[in-house]
Amino acid sequence: MTDVEELLARTRKLLADHPPADTDRTDFLRARFDAGLAWVHYPVGLGGLDAPRALQAVVDAELAAAGAPDNDPRKIGIGLGMAAPTVLAHGTDEVKERFLRPLWVGEEVWCQLFSEPGAGSDLAALATRAVRDGEDWVVDGQKVWTSSAHTARWAILIARTDPDAPKHRGITYFVCDMTDPGVEVRPLRQITGEAEFNEVFLTGVRIPDAHRLGEVGDGWRVAQTTLMNERVSIGGARIPREGGMIGKVAATWRARPELRTHELHRRLLDHWVDAEVARLAGERLRQQLVAGRPGPEGSAMKLAFARLNQAISGLEVELLGDEGLLYGEWEMRRPELVDFTGRDAGYRYLRSKGNSIEGGTSEVLLNIVAERVLGLPPEPRNDKDVAWKDLAR
């Protein structure tokens, strides 16, 4: 069942059986999932048809043309991009059946309880403890910078189950219920004024063993599935020419001749070239994926876009002169979704600072490129074979 014609026939049948115009949005999305047209590369029965990933575009185009609703991927990015591939790769059959449908449909938002005050880049140093108690695990600790914890129903969580093992080997991976009474979510205000992310305090949170993903002590390996998909989902979106940040400043440049200077013109053209090349590189990456020849270029995309977004939004604030001195509003809000290019130039400038931190810092990504892509030797390390409890903190 990988044929384009069959896929189109199936899509048209879905549209005929559930005409978007008079079907409830959630009902339509559920029916789409059940027809295997949610993510065609997923298994049959879990929203897919075991078809090549590239064929998703055929379905999406047909549905979009018919005015069908989508699942608002911007609101459920962590679920789609990170939780789902991990559940699929490491969950039991019951776990996959329970979680994937409401995740994809958007009925249940997910968040990622990974980073801690003492464990960011060095995530494997994390200190949140999970202790076995009968059929449950009891979790105590603190997570931080947790995006969408305030809207999430579920979380992917990594916690330490064996403090005597070296740090990478004593971690276990869980699905955590965000409505558990032991979960406390406090907004953490950002430099933009609002709070996309949160601090999350976990006190005696009970997680059934059935909600463990992978083996006890194997959580670091399971987390690699999540982290690899995080980088792909951050860098993978398709962009038209002058899409994203460069389009904003180019529009201002065209509309406001009085703001132009020669020095800004040179820098604008530098960035325009870089943005167009990054767009072409993203397009090339997609063509490689479609051809079944994925390259390591995905990690390059996130690095490139972080740098570009920061440089371009910085230029835009300067270009605006007097207006660049102003800021839309500093009111503390807890937004439901992240909008990198929304709002005004000042917001874009500040928000883009996070692009080189979230999902792995640019420094850490450069280490990964150097070691895994170029094969350069690692730095000497002194933390690999030491029990976690004996490490300096």
Ligand X SMILES: Cc1cc2nc3c(=O)[nH]c(=O)nc-3n(C[C@H](O)[C@H](O)[C@H](O)COP(=O)(O)OP(=O)(O)OC[C@H]3O[C@@H](n4cnc5c(N)ncnc54)[C@H](O)[C@@H]3O)c2cc1C
Residue showing tokens 């090549």: 52
Asked if residue 274 binds another protein (CB under 8 A), the reply is yes
Work out how close the CB of 183 gets to another protein at its nearest, in angstroms, rounded to a whole number.
30
The residue count for binding ligand X (CB under 6 A) is 18
Q: 288 touches which of ligand X, another protein, none (CB within 5 to 8 A by kind)?
A: another protein
Integer Cα distance of 162 and 202 in angstroms: 18
Work out how close the CB of 344 gets to ligand X at its nearest, in angstroms, rounded to a whole number.
19
β-pair type (154-160, 171-177): antiparallel
Decide if 302 contacts 235 (C-beta within 8 A). yes
Asked if residue 384 binds another protein (CB under 8 A), the reply is no
Decide if 157 contacts 173 (C-beta within 8 A). yes
Q: 112 touches which of another protein, ligand X, none (CB within 5 to 8 A by kind)?
A: ligand X
The secondary structure element, H or E, covering residue 183 is strand 183-188
Asked if residue 292 binds another protein (CB under 8 A), the reply is no
Asked if residue 210 binds another protein (CB under 8 A), the reply is no
Asked if residue 63 binds another protein (CB under 8 A), the reply is yes
Integer Cα distance of 120 and 55 in angstroms: 37
Nearer to another protein, 178 or 308 (CB): 308
Task: Count the alpha carbons within 13 Å of 272 in the hemisphere toward its beta carbon.
Answer: 13
Does residue 230 carry a catalytic annotation?
yes
Decide if 373 contacts 330 (C-beta within 8 A). no
Nearer to ligand X, 49 or 157 (CB): 157
CB atoms within 10 A of CB 125: 19
Please tell me which residue in 230, 276, 323, 363 is annotated as part of the active site: 230
Q: What are phi and psi of 292, to 5 degrees?
A: 70, 25
Integer Cα distance of 40 and 76 in angstroms: 18
Burial of 16: CB neighbours in 10 Å, binned 0-12, 13-18, 19+: exposed
Interaction with ligand X in 176-215: which residues (CB under 6 A)?
197
> From the list 378, 382, 385, 392, which residue makes contact with another protein (rule: CB under 8 A)?
378
Nearer to another protein, 370 or 387 (CB): 370
Which segment (10-18, 68-76, 90-98, 328-336) binds another protein by CB under 8 A?
Answer: 68-76
Tokens at residue 243, please? 């899409």
Which segment (111-119, 124-132, 300-308, 350-358) binds another protein by CB under 8 A?
Answer: 300-308
Integer Cα distance of 373 and 324 in angstroms: 40
The secondary structure element, H or E, covering residue 193 is none
Asked if residue 310 binds ligand X (CB under 6 A), the reply is no
Residues near another protein, by CB under 8 A: 38-39, 56-57, 60, 63-64, 70-71, 73, 237-243, 250, 253-254, 257, 260-262, 265-266, 268-270, 272-274, 276-278, 280-281, 283-284, 287-288, 291, 293, 297, 300, 303-304, 363, 366-367, 369-371, 373-380
Residues near ligand X, by CB under 6 A: 111-112, 114-115, 120-121, 145-147, 197, 354, 357-358, 360-361, 363-364, 367
Residues with a catalytic annotation lie at 230
